[in-house]
Structure 1
Amino acid sequence: MTTDRAALGRLRHELHTPLNHIIGYSEMLLEEVEERGWVDLTHDLHHVHEEGRRLLGQIDRFLDPSRHEAVDLERLPPELLTPLDSILVAVDALRARATHVGGPDLLPDLERIRSAAQRLITLVREGMSSAPAEVRADARADVAPRPPAEPSKARAKGGRILVVDDNDENREMLARRLARQGYEVNMAAGGRAALEALRAAPADLVLLDVLMPDLDGYEVLQQLKADGGLRDIPVLMISALDEIESVVRCIELGAEDYLAKPFDPVLLQARIGACLEKKRLRDQEVRHLHELAEWNMRLEQRVKEQVAQVERLGRLKRFFSPQLAELIVAGGAEDPLQTHRREVTVVFLDLRGFTAFAETSEPEEVMGVLRDYHAAMGRLILEHEGTLERFTGDGMMIFFNDPVPVPDPAERAIRMAVAMRERVEKLSAGWRKHGWELTLGVGIAQGYATIGAIGFEGRWDYGAIGTVTNLAARLCGEAKGGQILISSRVATAEE
């Protein structure tokens, strides 16, 4: 006789396990025969199921931990035998009728119900001493397990579930039920096998038994929650051990929920659905966080690239038109800062009388003249798509056909020089009012030059080196105010 809660809990576990088989297999058989239209079998199957439920209520009342009476673990109330005898009679009748209607595939499940009922009869008559410890921990019927039904591809989208139970019938029965509901089901016969299976292929949900010989459900939970790759897999505990202490411990260790065997199939499906929905939302959140991190990385990279492009564009705009600089940065033209050789038309120009003007005028007056002059010449350079190599005071060097080849570079150079002369003549009219005599001289030559970036890190210029630049400079030096001198090669190109 005992009132020990742990001992009563173990006895409830031993009794609930075969009861779970009676109730669970009768429920699945009812679903199958109703689908096939075998109404002759439904009455007795309902009777088996109802008797199993009635017996469950009797056992739970007898072993209620709130009772203060001592319980004899070696001999249970004989009135528990009545529903068991009724179940055996109904099962024998069902076996005969199943064979008659052409349902021999129902016989293995009926045999499992019969074996479970006989196991309960032994426990009621002889108590916990009726079997060795290893059998008490895992009462099995000698019936080959029936493989779970394969869910269709359309239904298998419900999720991947791992069923962990050391009892073959518990595992097989639950797997079959879940497969019928459209889930992809894998099974593990113990805690260690479950951890190995999850590390090989993580599941969307784990249905985990508590009492297992190799590694119990508590230890499995602890290892799952300590593993960074597995801790987010929801775990639903399903056990014949129904003490509140076990429930609380599992929840504290990280289980999503706890169902006692025998479980209500509708409640089980609802709990599974809730767990999978939480998993789906958690996975969605993780995906969104990963996507956000990737977007941030891409954004940072794009910002770096944009900053580099802006810096490069700023350097290029010192030498080229904004349109050309943007074209180069966008990849529409080769990098002109790399040293290269090309035939170009070079234009040199400066103001006649500028040296005398600068020596006799105030610096502010000189800067004002240069500002107007540079602005006017700069607009014409951009308009004719020329490349400004440099300007020093009133002197400027421009060339055509680099960095992007242009048609008729000599003609462009001449048209630009003529436009510059006309513009300087208009500026000169204003300068004369101040007594400043300034006119434009231009020299144009054509030939090959070596072109590229010249300077050092932090201070680069774009330069052209070759005899063609020297010739253009000499022609500019020889030109009188208002004259445009061109080389013979330019003249030939324009004939």
Structure 2
Amino acid sequence: MENNQTHRTRPLWLPDAKKLVDRIDVLQPVAELIGSTSLEGDLKTLKTVGLKLRHFTQSVSRGTIYDNPTVRHELRNLTSAIIGYSEFVLEEMEQTVDGLLYDSLQTILALCHQLSAYDDREDPLADTTGPSIKTIGGTILIVDDQIESRDLLKRYLQLNKTTVLEASNGTSMFAVLTENEVDLILLDLILPEMDGDELLELLKQDEKLRAIPVIVVSGNKETDRVIRCIEAGAEDYLFKPFNPILLQARISAGVERKRWHNKELQYRRELERNQDFIRSVFGRYLSEDIVTRILENPEGLDLGGSQRKVTVLMADIRGFSSIAEQLPPQRVVRLLNNYLGVMSDVVMRYGGTVDEFIGDAILAIFGAPTTSDDDSDRAVQAAIAMQQAMVLINQQNRADQLPEISMGVSINTGLVVAGNIGSEKRAKYGIVGHTVNLTSRIGGYCQAGEILITEATRNDCRSSLAVGPAQHIQAKGILTAIQVYRLEGASPAKTKNSDTSAKNPEAIG
């Protein structure tokens, strides 16, 4: 507990404060003698602050209030306001104005600096050389319960083309922040209701407001309060009376940081929109895992077009044309949706890309837009699962009173050109090349429930495949005969391919 005797000791600064009050009292009569109306507003405000200082010093003299950090904070508030308005009057004075007013103002400034020196005998921040005007811009909120302090800061800021908002306490501060976009807050420490450091903690806990830079401008020089503010998230802490040039520099730096934060936030939002777009476009054709890999490693997705090795899978319904002729259009669409919906899910479950639907056919890619060592293996496993899924599809068709269907699947591995294909107005990610055409041609030779794979796919697989004897087909538009195999099963064992004697292969249902 502090010693009350220390509090009751007559403050060393009290005589200078009384001299300052007396000097301010004579300003108005001097101005009236000169007859300058342009200075009337600022001189009137100076007189008002002088009256506050008079009442303040009288309370200290009578012992109504005692010298302590809070009292000295109030003294600095008043002194800072007197310095500011005195400087404004000096700037507004015409050269023809009598030297008496000029001398009185200089004496007032000297007394203010003497009062400042009682806390720090040599305080560089007490220098109040006029600011070098530099455009800051932005919107700044001043939170101070002293109207003179707010007005002084406001006038300095408006010289810098800054939009200024005001609040006298925490309630009005949050009300202003709710209605306005603010670039920086100048916060006094000693406030009614709740002090500035408490407001600062609340501000930094708010997700929407925490990025606003806060500079504490206060007459309180208690080290623990300064530290508490910095730890709570204040950008800086300036003592009153403040140096206008230093204040301007700190504000400029704070506003610039807020602008960079806003740009970063805008960039993140654009990135999120782009990611949402990629998910909405590719999510229709790719598994969630592949979409996530694309977003995490975007350089792996070259939409401009690139040559790559892929395994192409094409599946279609056997005898679909005759089935479609016997059904009304709505029933045809229902049948296709039953079939293509299940097939798409199987393809994506095995990490494939649904490139497109061509009537009753589904074209899938394994190896684009992302590539893996097991692309052909996954394509084979997907084909087997697709044939097995026909049981469920036909169950649904029977429930919907639709005809049962069967499917053939062809698989081929080779080089393609993959990329964003189309025009500026309409484009899609897809593949083109001989490998695609050859897969389509092989599909014409598939029987119901059959999977045909090429020699290239068989050689590329690391799994143990169970295949039938080699077949040679002469596809339309292909000059040489194509060697294909009927796939009868596959096992994940990474051994040499085998014929139907392979051990425990996963058989086609």
Query: Normalised by the shorter chain, which TM-score bucket?
Result: 0.3 to 0.5
User: TM-score with structure 2 length normalisation?
Assistant: 0.46
- Counting helix residues as a fraction of each chain, which structure ranks higher? 1
